[in-house]
Amino acid sequence: MGRVISRHPWWVIGAWGVAVLLAFGLAIGGWAGDPLFKRLSSGIVSVPGPSKDGQAILDATATVGPQEYMLVEGISPRDPSLKPAFDAARADILKMQGVKSVRDAWYLNGRSLDPTKQSDWVDSLPLLSDDQTAALMVVTLDPDLPVAQNKSRPEAGSRTYVLHQVRDRMQQVHIEGATTLTSSVNDIVEEVTQQVEHDLRTGEGIALPISLLIMVVVFGGFLAAGLPIIGAIAAIGGALATLLGFSYALSLDPSTVNVVTVLGLGLCIDYGLLLVSRYREEMLSLPGDPTLPPTRRQRELALRRTMTSAGRTVTFSGVTVAIALSGLMCFQFTLLRGMGAAGVSVVLVALLVALTLVPALLAVVKVRMIRPGLVHRLPVLGPISTALGDSTREEGFFSRLARLVQRFPLIVVAIVVGTLFVLSLPVLAMQMVSSNAALLPIDNPQRTLVDTVNNDFSYASTPTIQVVTTHYVPQRVPSSQGEHTSVDCATAPANDDRCTLISARPEADSYYKSLLGVPGVARIDPPEYRGQNASNRSIRAGRTPQYTVLSIRVGGTDSSPTALQAVRDIRALDPPFPAYTTGNASSLVDAIIDLENRTPYAIGVVVLTTLVLLFLMTGSVLVPIKALVMNVISLGASLGVVTWIFQFGELSWLLDFTSAGGVEVFIPPMTLAFGFGLAMDYEVFLLSRISEYKQQGYSNDESVALGLQKSGRIISSAALIIVVVFLGFVAGKLLMIKETGTALAVAVAIDATLVRMLLVPATMTLLGEWNWWAPPFLRRLHDRYGISE
């Protein structure tokens, strides 16, 4: 590859130029349909299980379509001047094609209400806040409206088109002294995806300039530093195009775009650093008169040697990272499967950029790559750049650090492992959550409306749990049927004699009473009957509906321990007829169960393949095992820091977020997969150089010191850049993006400092020549099939 690319560099660069232009045009410009950011899903947790089965029944039996909400705050519902504003908006909305119904405190179930009258006041309550200072208008669409084929330009008559019309009319409602907000599931999805796009641009705007500055200092000039950045831009384009392709086969969460794009950016910079550094080293070590410019043959030789050594390391690293990410595809959790599949593809894009575009750019810049740059002549940065950029010295900061560690290996191991253990402790208290609208900033209007409805509207908020059963579950009504009864049978205890159950099967009667006795259940709304014979008249005539839906209210948020335990307790009731628990809390429980059941398979895939690959590279049995153990320890510390920050709310003042009471459910497996991949990336960088010196006949300790000296600055520079890249996304507004950026930045920082610079040299010193031990039959296998520089 090095020989071919060195002879035809402009063909490679031209092909990449066309490819990158097409990639950005398709993914961002929407040249062939919706752009990527219009094809992202809502981010709702979706895992095969009882929750998904129950939701499928609800969707199949739904008699109403999507809903748009209008919240008006700062009012007095009994004020007669409010009714005209609502009446005018309702009349206009009902004229729109595709609108099925409009409900508000002044109009319900086809009947005009007057909240100033006591008889109508009770009927208006479901759409009034508990403190009587806010009101809701709910517009329901026809369920048969077609889904928009083009989300950026929805067709007239489609769901999205009608929702936009309804929202525009609602926003025209003006009431003196009141605040009006509108929202729907569709609006929240649009808001989240727009925020993702904004955060992506913000992160790249911060990360790319700082990364370029770091590399200018490392390489002493803009030319050498610019090559990895050019490759990184190409990788971003390829990553976005790859994700666009996956959006047609998989449901992609908005966070997937940020995570895999950042990964492609970071890996491409890492690989570019390694290739550029090795090429400069090879150019400076060419035989002949160093005062004369290298010939074309010499430049080709330098590029071939670079590809033979660093190119092989890059390939090995890319395969290792891809394998680590493939572990995510062992889960049934759609978000993780999509992230794993897209992540593997993006790694391959970064690998392709590093093995083709970057070498072609190296071939084009020729001798200018080894000339001292402007930075070398600056007073402060010059000495730093010279020290970091010197590729030929075998003694320097990192070799001295290695020898210092080798003098006190036991002390270093004890301090580092103890530190990582302490950092890991918060993991023991980790709570996983699924925030949905709470992902948005707390001052976002969409989140404000959702939070207000959930907190202040007892009967209009989304129920924590829904139970879907094929049995007719009875309604619980007052024993004395007066017009104004004081008992609320939905909240009364199961043994309250003032309430009775209308005719039902004994097993359904028992199940209903058992639900009321589940700890944490605050109220069960009146049953909703769906399917055939579901009208009240047919029920009174003794005909059983096809499905009964029970909305169960639980204290706390959907992700609270109380809600999750209530889901488990309800499922444990195990009635003698089919019953499915669904809703946000149930989906989160299914996701946690999926993680618990399938994590061993994911770990098995990653561990087995990583052991094999590291053995093929080093010929050792102990080095791969040691690398896996150290990675587990460092990743545990990373998750501990993330838990401390985002669950306990520490540093919220600095990172500008409001804690959701836990860590997003996808963060732990994502951090383990991506963090493990990046850790193995640096492990490969370091071990490849150590193995190279060991194969040349150096002792174990000398090989470690020399290997760290040659690779230490690359690892440190690459880690610093990728930490900057991830921290750039912490500046975004979306909570899950902040968590993702923080988690991966902490994982890389811990691995590149405590683990690679201290723990690896210390443990390799303690093991000595045992580092390279392998049974005779494995040694023969490595001699025949091993991969080395």
Confidence class for position 536, pLDDT limits 50, 70, 90: very low
Whether 722 has a pLDDT exceeding 60, the answer reads: yes
Whether residue 781 sits in one domain with residue 652? yes
- Which of the residue ranges 381-390, 467-476, 720-729, 745-754 has the most confident prediction, judged by mean pLDDT? 745-754
Give me the pLDDT at residue 392, please: 54
Whether 110 has a pLDDT exceeding 80, the answer reads: no
pTM attached to this predicted model: 0.81
Whether residue 485 sits in one domain with residue 373? no
Domain containing 322 — which CATH number? 1.20.1640
Whether 641 has a pLDDT exceeding 90, the answer reads: yes
Confidence class for position 391, pLDDT limits 50, 70, 90: low
User: The domain containing residue 131 runs over which residues?
Assistant: 66-189
Other CB atoms within 10 Å distance of the CB of residue 213? 13
* pLDDT tens digits, 279-297: 888 887 877 766 677 788 8
Q: Is residue 247 in some structural domain?
A: yes
Whether residue 183 sits in one domain with residue 242? no
Which tokens hold the place of 751?
Answer: 């691995």
Helices 584-618, 561-572: axis angle to 10 degrees equals 100
* pLDDT tens digits, 645-676: 999 988 888 888 888 889 988 889 988 888 88
Q: Are the CB atoms for 613 and 599 separated by under 8 Å?
A: no
Closest CA to 317 of 348, 293, 286, 295: 348
Q: Is residue 541 in some structural domain?
A: yes
Q: What is the mean pLDDT of residues 564-577?
A: 91
Quote the CA–CA distance of 318 and 684 in Å, as a whole number: 10
Query: Concatenated DSSP letters for 397-465?
Result: HHHHHHHHHHHSHHHHHHHHHHHHHHHHGGGGG--EE--GGGGS-TT-HHHHHHHHHHHH-TTTSPPSE
Of 535, 566, 582, the position where a domain reaches its end is 582
Q: Is residue 607 in some structural domain?
A: no
Of 137, 172, 189, the position where a domain reaches its end is 189
| Measured torsion, CA atoms of residues 770, 775, 777, 780, in degrees rounded to the nearest 10 | 10
Task: Kindly give the residue spans of alpha helices, DSSP state H, lying in 149-184.
Answer: 159-170
Closest CA to 647 of 752, 732, 639, 374: 639
Q: Is residue 103 in some structural domain?
A: yes
Residue 714's contacts (CB-CB under 8 Å, 6 or more residues apart) are 273, 274, 277, 685
Quote the CA–CA distance of 656 and 652 in Å, as a whole number: 5
Other CB atoms within 10 Å distance of the CB of residue 215? 26
Q: Is residue 133 in some structural domain?
A: yes
* pLDDT tens digits, 605-628: 888 888 888 888 788 888 888 888
Whether residue 244 sits in one domain with residue 331? yes
Whether residue 363 sits in one domain with residue 260? yes
Q: Mean pLDDT over all residues of the chain?
A: 82
Give me the pLDDT at residue 702, please: 92
Q: Is residue 592 in some structural domain?
A: no
Give me the pLDDT at residue 538, please: 46
Confidence class for position 376, pLDDT limits 50, 70, 90: low
Confidence class for position 477, pLDDT limits 50, 70, 90: confident
Domain containing 77 — which CATH number? 3.30.70.1430
Quote the CA–CA distance of 660 and 242 in Å, as a whole number: 32
Quote the CA–CA distance of 577 and 569 in Å, as a whole number: 17
Whether residue 350 sits in one domain with residue 237? yes
Q: Is residue 605 in some structural domain?
A: no
Whether residue 269 sits in one domain with residue 126? no
**End-to-end distance of the chain based on CA atoms, in angstroms?**
15
Whether residue 385 sits in one domain with residue 429? no
Selected residue with higher pLDDT from 465 and 456: 465
Whether residue 388 sits in one domain with residue 272? yes
Whether residue 404 sits in one domain with residue 373? no
Phi, psi of 108 (to 5 degrees): -145, 130
Query: Cα separations (Å) of 771 from 255, 451, 661?
Result: 40, 57, 44
How wide is the angle at C-alpha 28 spanned by C-alphas 27 and 31, nearest 5°? 70
Whether residue 777 sits in one domain with residue 657? yes
Whether residue 272 sits in one domain with residue 125? no
Give me the pLDDT at residue 371, please: 60
How many domains does one find in the chain?
Answer: 4
Of 342, 367, 392, the position where a domain reaches its end is 392
Q: Is residue 688 in some structural domain?
A: yes
